[in-house]
């Protein structure tokens, strides 16, 4: 699918990360409007966990797999937190005129040692061919080595992009892109407009929020796989109006482009 676009809306973009289970409806509404105006299809949207999935997964130690019986309930609660957030996002997308269709990753895949090896993209493709916009998310999933795990939205989009042959992957973040250091901790950090995936000059850290899937460092490591596969990967600030829209349209925009 040579024209396929994949948009990741980071958890820090769709939730208030410091407020437990609080969706950032204002930002989601503006983004939905931009996505509708961009009119760039076919498109898959994947969103992160933010203050929904991460704190619940952390509380029940879901990411490292099954240790005791008490986690079974927590596993359900983690998934349910993501279902709730997904519901808010899909409702807003539909109201904006985007034919969004929710897919629950835990109902269609499992991981092996925390890694997603196989994904039935045929079904997703059928929905895309009908003109719909699949909306997936990071989820609590079954794992064949550790019973269960947390699959990050970042890992999921790279698999989707490699298997479906995406043209462009866009990460919507709460910062302008990749900086020489975490811009939230270091005011002197500079934006890197073209980031070579072998770059060891940049100090890429985790995140300042609760994150059971590894923050920016893990995001970059996942994105590396897509870049190696020939996909164009762009990171933009999804809090700044018009940037996601420009990135979807393939226009020049402030952000970071990842290269080999």
3-state secondary structure 96-143: CCCCEEECCHHHCCCEECCECCCCCHHHHHHHHHCCCEEEEECEEEEE
**CA nearest 68: which of 147, 162, 177?**
147
Site track for ligand ATP across 180-199, x = CB under 6 A: -xxxx---------------
Q: What share of the chain is helix, strand, coil (3-state, %, to 5)?
A: 40, 20, 40
Q: Which helix (H) or strand (E) holds 257?
A: strand 256-259
Minimum separation from the CB atom of position 15 to ligand IP8 (A) = 9
Any contact of residue 136 with ligand IP8 (CB under 6 A)?
Answer: no
Any contact of residue 222 with ligand IP8 (CB under 6 A)?
Answer: no
Any contact of residue 78 with ligand IP8 (CB under 6 A)?
Answer: yes
Any contact of residue 55 with ligand IP8 (CB under 6 A)?
Answer: no
Q: Within a 13 Å sphere around the CA of 172, how many CA atoms are in the beta-carbon half?
A: 33
Any contact of residue 84 with ligand ATP (CB under 6 A)?
Answer: no
Which C-beta is closer to ligand ATP: that of 3 or that of 217?
217
Any contact of residue 210 with ligand ATP (CB under 6 A)?
Answer: no
Which C-beta is closer to ligand IP8: that of 49 or that of 172?
49
Q: CA 110, CA 14: separation in Å to the nearest integer?
A: 25
Contact positions toward ligand ATP, by CB under 6 A? Answer: 10-13, 48-50, 153, 173-175, 178-179, 181-184, 202-205, 207-209, 211, 213, 215-216
């Amino acid at each position: 699918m040579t024209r396929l676009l994949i948009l990741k809306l980071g958890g820090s973009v769709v939730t208030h990360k410091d407020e437990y289970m609080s969706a950032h409806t204002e930002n989601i509404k503006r983004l939905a409007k931009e996505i509708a105006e961009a009119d760039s299809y076919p498109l898959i949207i994947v969103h992160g966990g933010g203050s929904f999935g991460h704190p619940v997964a952390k509380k029940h130690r879901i990411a490292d797999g099954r240790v005791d019986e008490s986690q079974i309930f927590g596993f359900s609660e983690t998934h349910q937190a993501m279902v709730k957030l997904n519901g808010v996002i899909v409702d807003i997308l539909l109201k904006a005129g985007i034919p969004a269709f929710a897919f629950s990753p835990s109902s269609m895949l499992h991981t092996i040692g925390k890694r997603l090896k196989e994904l039935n993209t045929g079904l997703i493709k059928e929905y895309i061919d009908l003109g719909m916009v699949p909306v997936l998310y990071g989820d609590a999933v079954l794992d064949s080595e550790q019973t269960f795990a947390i699959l990050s939205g970042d890992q999921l989009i790279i698999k989707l992009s490699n298997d479906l042959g995406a043209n462009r992957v866009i990460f919507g973040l709460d910062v302008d892109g990749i900086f020489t250091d975490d811009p939230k901790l270091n005011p002197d950090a500079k934006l890197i407009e073209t980031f070579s995936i072998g770059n060891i000059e940049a100090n890429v850290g985790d995140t300042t929020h609760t994150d059971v899937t590894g923050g920016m460092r893990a995001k970059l490591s996942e994105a590396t796989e897509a870049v190696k596969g020939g996909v164009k990967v762009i990171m933009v600030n999804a809090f700044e109006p018009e940037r996601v829209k420009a990135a979807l349209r393939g226009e020049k925009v402030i952000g970071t482009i990842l290269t080999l």
